[in-house]
């Protein structure tokens, strides 16, 4: 058994770590509240712009180049959204695992990546994935301008034929304790029967085709923006839960170390008493 001095040093070390994890939990909780508010504020607009785009695509005779599926899919691109920092449980590993699974299932096509976040960039760079563009060191501060910067590069690559399909990979925020890794097809755009189901008599100016050409790029921008906000909220939620678990584990470890400390101290006292008794017996 370790001596009391070593155990006491371990207790102090764990208590210091516990202070850090408590502080990180509080910071993540505050950031998460703001991120969730921003995410919820965009959900209604996200649903409505999809509804309008779906309605226009069904009524317009013209077709946007972002709506035309390719006859043969040889190149696939993924926008992978991760975090810049760790200490957030399985937040990043779930995303990385989903991308690896997708690449294995589409081994007959060339998979290219647009990466947001340092953790995913470091992971896929070591595995020799083709990375078209990266956005790192954003610090989880996602703005609409950030999304437009990403989609500007992505839309240009799609129109130039660099890839035939585009998917979004991000963590969907479902609750503080649960974030689900999600794979969502973005390009070419496709709408199911439930999209745009509300029939509205729009007055188009100048034409429905011109409006569709304006709405579709905005819808792509906002889809990426909403995914960034979902991922940002999920990251703070995952880190808050991870730090809470770390704090609880540190508390359990301190209790065990205190118990070991008391046992070691009691053993040392017993040994001292035995030495005194043996010495007294030897003097008789």
Q: Please list the active-site residues.
A: 88
**Do 219 and 49 contact (CB within 8 A), yes or no?**
yes
**Do 188 and 69 contact (CB within 8 A), yes or no?**
yes
Structure tokens at 178: 């649960």
Count CB neighbours of 213 within 10 A: 17
Three-state DSSP at 68 gives coil
Count CB neighbours of 140 within 10 A: 17
Residues across the chain:
284
Separation of alpha carbons 183 and 185, rounded Å: 7
Structure tokens at 32: 């998460």
Count CB neighbours of 115 within 10 A: 26
Separation of alpha carbons 185 and 254, rounded Å: 48
Query: Among 24, 33, 233, 27, which residue's Cα sits nearest to residue 141?
Result: 233
Radius of gyration of the chain (CA): 28
Separation of alpha carbons 167 and 217, rounded Å: 16
């Amino acid at each position: 058994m370790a001596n009391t001095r070593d155990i006491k040093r371990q207790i102090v070390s764990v208590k210091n770590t516990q202070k850090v994890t408590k502080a990180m939990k509080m910071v993540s909780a505050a950031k998460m509240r703001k991120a969730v508010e921003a995410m919820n504020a965009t959900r209604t607009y996200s649903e409505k712009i999809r509804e309008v785009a779906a309605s226009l695509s069904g009524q317009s005779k013209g077709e946007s180049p972002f709506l035309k599926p390719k006859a043969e899919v040889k190149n696939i691109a993924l926008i992978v959204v991760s975090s810049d920092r760790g200490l957030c449980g399985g937040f990043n590993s779930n995303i990385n695992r989903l991308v690896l699974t997708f690449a294995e299932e589409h081994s007959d096509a060339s998979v290219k990546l647009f990466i947001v976040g340092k953790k995913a960039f470091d992971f896929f760079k070591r595995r020799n994935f083709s990375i078209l563009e990266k956005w790192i060191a954003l610090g989880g501060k996602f703005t609409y301008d950030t999304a437009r910067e990403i989609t500007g590069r992505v839309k240009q690559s799609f129109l130039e034929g660099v890839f035939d399909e585009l998917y979004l990979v991000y963590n969907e925020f479902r609750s503080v304790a649960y974030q689900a890794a999600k794979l969502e097809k973005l390009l070419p755009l496709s709408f199911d029967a439930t999209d745009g189901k509300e029939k509205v008599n729009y007055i188009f100016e100048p034409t429905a085709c011109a409006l569709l050409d304006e709405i579709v790029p905005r819808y792509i921008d906002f889809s990426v923006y909403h995914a960034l906000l979902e991922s940002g909220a999920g990251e703070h939620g995952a880190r808050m839960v991870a730090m809470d678990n770390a704090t609880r584990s540190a508390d359990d470890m301190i209790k065990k170390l205190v118990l070991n400390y008391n046992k070691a101290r009691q053993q040392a006292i017993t040994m001292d008493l035995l030495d005194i008794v043996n010495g007294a017996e030897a003097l008789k």
